[in-house]
Amino acid sequence: MKKKVRFSLVYRDMWQSSGKFQPRKDQLARIAPVIIEMGCFDRVETNGGAFEQVNLLAGENPNEAVRAFCKPFNEVGIKTHMLDRGLNALRMYPVPDDVRKLMYKVKKKQGTDITRIFCGLNDVRNIIPSIQYAKEGGMIPQATLCITTSPIHTAEYYSAIADQLIEAGAAEICLKDMAGIGQPAMLGKLTGMIKKNHPDIIIQYHGHSGPGLSMASILEVCNNGADIIDTAIEPLSWGKVHPDIISVQSMLKNEGFDVPEINMNAYMKARSLTQEFIDDWLGYFINPANKHMSSLLLGSGLPGGMMGSMMADLGGIQSAINNIRKQKGEPELSTDDMLVALFNEVEHVWPMVGYPPLVTPFSQYTKNIALMNLLTIEQGKGRFVMMDDAMWGMILGKSGKVPGPIAPELVEIAKKQGREFTDTDPHTLYPDKLDEFRKEMDENGWEYGQDDEELFELAMHPEQYRNFKSGQAKKNFLADLQKAKDARLGHKFTPEMIAAFKHAKADAVVSPVNGQVFYEFQGGDECVPCLEPFIGQEYAEGDILCYVQAPWGEFIPVQAGIGGRLVEVAAKKASFVHRGDTLAWIERKPKV
C-alpha cells in the first residue's frame, strides 16, 4: 500500500466559490458534529478570506461564529485552518503590521490552528512577515504557492519560492490552484521537487474544479508525495468549487493509497443540512453559473468564481460597444462574441502586465484592463487608455513584484503620465493603526471583546464593523434578502415604492455633463475598481462616485456629495446620460 493521504473539507470556500454569504453561527454549530461523524476529515477550513466580512454584512458577529464552528473540531483533534491574504490579511487591500500581528493572536484564541498565507503575486516579502507573526501568535504557518500556467511559472520557479518560505519558518506548503488551470504534470513535478528538498514538510493541494483538470492534478500530486487534499461535499462540490470527497477518496483508494473511509450516513446528513441552508436563505445569493464547469477558463486563466461578476461587467461594455458599432453601421456583437473577445484580450494583456497569477485582487485588475481595452479599441483610441490607480498599482509594484517584465509600451505610458515604479517592500508603506481604532472604540464605549477580538474586527473591516454595530448592516441585509426572494418569486417593486425608498433618506447625485458613465469605487486606503456598482458601498465626503466621459473625450469626476451609503444606481455602467440626470442615490451615514 502507498503512503497515507489525508483530507480537508474546505467548508468556507465551498460557500465562497458558490455565492456571497456564509452560513450563520447556529447553522455552523449544527453541521460541525456531522462533519466530525463522517470520520474522513483530518482538517476543516472554518474561516478566513471573506468569511468575516460577509458575516458583518449579514449583521452577524463573525467572532462568535468562528468560535462556535471551531470548538467541536478542537475538542476531537481535527485541525482547523483559515485563508489569509498575506499583506491584505482578511480583506482586499493592505493591512498595517500591528493589525496583522493581532489577527494571529485572536484567531489562535478563537480555535483556528493553521493559517494558509498567500500573496497573489507570490512575492515572499508579503508572506514571510505573516509567517513570523503567525508563529508568535501560536498558529501553524502554511505558506502558499499561487498556481498558474505561463512561461514563467515553472516547477523550478515555484520550488525556489518554496525553499525561501520554508527557510523563513513555514511548517507546511499549500499548492493553491485557485483557477484550476495548473497542469497536472507540472504540479506533480513540483510536489516531487519540494519533497526531495524538504522531505518532512507537509504539502496540501487545493484545486478548484473549474476547467476540469483537478482530479488529474490530485492524482499527480499524491503520486509525488502530497500529504493532504482539499475536498468538498455535495451539493456544493464540482462546478467552480472543488472535487467531491467521495470521488477523490475512491480514486486514491483504487490507486493504492491509505485513505480513510467515509461514513456515508453522516455524509448524507451533511449533504442534507447544506441543502437546507441553501433553501433557507443562502441560495438566494448563489450564482447558478458557478455550479457549472467551463473549459473556456483554460485559455484566459481566470478563476471560475469570477464568472458571475465578469458576465455582468461584460454586459455593460457590450452595450456600449454595440452602440458604437451601430453608429458605424457595423453588426452588433453577441454575448458569445464578447466573451471570446474578452478571453483573447486577457491572454494578450496578461504577459504585458508581467504574468500576475490571476487570483484576487490581481485577476480583477487584469480582467478590468482587458474590458476597458475592448471599449477603447472600439472607440479607435487603442489600448491602456482607461486604467485607474489600482490597475497601475499592480503594474508599478505597489502591491509587490509581478513575476515577469512589464511591456515596454506600458513602461512608456507610465513615464508619460508621471507614474513611478517602485521596489519598496510593500508592508513598510502602511503605518500602524491600532491606537487609532482603540481611540474610536473608547469614544464609542465599545468593548474590546474577548482576547481583543472586537478591536481586531473594527481594525480589519472598519466600515462593515461600524454598520454592524449601528444595526444598519442587518437592516440592509434583510432588505436585500427580501428583494432576492421577491425576484425569485417574480414579484416586482412598483416605481412608486422604489422612488419612496430612494427619496426617504438619500440624496441624488447628478451628472454635470452629457456623456457616458464609468464607475470606480473606493476601498479603504486603496482604490479598488468595480465595473458593476453594488448596493451598500460606503463613501466619504469628496470620494469619487464615478466618471462621465464628455463628448469631447475628457473624463469628468463626479463626487459622492457629502458621503454615505449607496442605496440605488439610476445610471448603469457604460450608459449615456444628460446633464442633470440622476446617477445614483446615496444615503447619509447614520450617527453611531
Lowest-pLDDT range of 280-284, 353-357, 542-546:
542-546
Q: Mean pLDDT throughout 328-357?
A: 92
Q: What is the mean pLDDT of the chain?
A: 89
Does 259 map to a domain? yes
Nearest Cα neighbor of 95 from 433, 412, 442 is 433
Local structure of residue 305 (DSSP, 8 states) = G
pLDDT at residue 439, as a whole number? 97
Lowest-pLDDT range of 286-295, 391-400, 410-419:
286-295
Residue 161 has pLDDT above 70, yes or no: yes
Does 413 map to a domain? yes
Lowest-pLDDT range of 40-44, 241-245, 355-359, 451-455:
355-359
Does 434 map to a domain? no
Residue 129 has pLDDT above 90, yes or no: yes
Does 394 map to a domain? yes
Quick count: other Cβ atoms within 10 Å of Cβ 4?
Answer: 11
Q: Mean pLDDT throughout 168-173?
A: 98
pLDDT at residue 479, as a whole number? 84
Task: Name the pLDDT band for 523 (thresholds 50, 70, 90).
Answer: very low
Q: Mean pLDDT throughout 346-362?
A: 90
Whether residue 517 sits in one domain with residue 418: no
Whether residue 200 sits in one domain with residue 237: yes
Residue 1 has pLDDT above 90, yes or no: no
pLDDT at residue 575, as a whole number? 78
Whether residue 321 sits in one domain with residue 233: no
Residue 297 has pLDDT above 60, yes or no: yes
The burial of 5, by beta-carbon neighbours within 10 Å (0-12 exposed, 13-18 middle, 19 or more buried), is given as buried
Whether residue 339 sits in one domain with residue 191: no
Residue 530 has pLDDT above 50, yes or no: no
Does 441 map to a domain? no
3-state secondary structure (DSSP) of residue 383: coil
Quick count: other Cβ atoms within 10 Å of Cβ 490?
Answer: 6
Residue 100 has pLDDT above 50, yes or no: yes
Whether residue 208 sits in one domain with residue 305: no
Cα 458 to chain centroid distance, Å, stands at 20
Please tell me the distance from the alpha carbon of residue 211 to that of residue 182, in angstroms, as a whole number. Answer: 10
pLDDT at residue 524, as a whole number? 36
Residue 521 has pLDDT above 60, yes or no: no
Whether residue 338 sits in one domain with residue 254: no
Phi, psi (5° rounding) for residue 584? -165, 170
Whether residue 306 sits in one domain with residue 282: no
Residue 494 has pLDDT above 70, yes or no: no
Q: What is the CATH number of the domain that holds 216?
A: 3.20.20.70
Residue 432 has pLDDT above 90, yes or no: yes
Whether residue 277 sits in one domain with residue 316: no
Does 90 map to a domain? yes
Residue 257 has pLDDT above 50, yes or no: yes
Q: How many domains does the chain have?
A: 3
Provide the strand spans (E) within 85-157. 114-117, 140-146
Q: How much of the chain exceeds pLDDT 70, in percent?
A: 92
Give the domain extent around 378: 297-428
Q: What is the CATH number of the domain that holds 529?
A: 2.40.50.100
Task: Name the pLDDT band for 558 (thresholds 50, 70, 90).
Answer: confident
Looking at 375, 405, 428, the residue that finishes a domain is 428
Whether residue 346 sits in one domain with residue 255: no
Q: How much of the chain exceeds pLDDT 90, in percent?
A: 62
Looking at 428, 446, 479, the residue that finishes a domain is 428
**Which of the residue ranges 358-367, 439-448, 478-487, 581-590 has the most confident prediction, judged by mean pLDDT?**
439-448
Does 464 map to a domain? no
What pTM value is reported for the model? 0.82
Whether residue 423 sits in one domain with residue 390: yes
Going from the C-alpha of 479 to that of each of 276, 409, 472, 486, the distances in angstroms are 21, 47, 11, 11
pLDDT at residue 428, as a whole number? 92
Whether residue 262 sits in one domain with residue 123: yes
Whether residue 199 sits in one domain with residue 113: yes
Angle between helix 155-167 and helix 184-197 axes, rounded to 10 deg: 40
C-alpha cell at 582: 440622476
Contact 5, 257 (CB under 8 A): yes
C-alpha cell at 482: 427580501
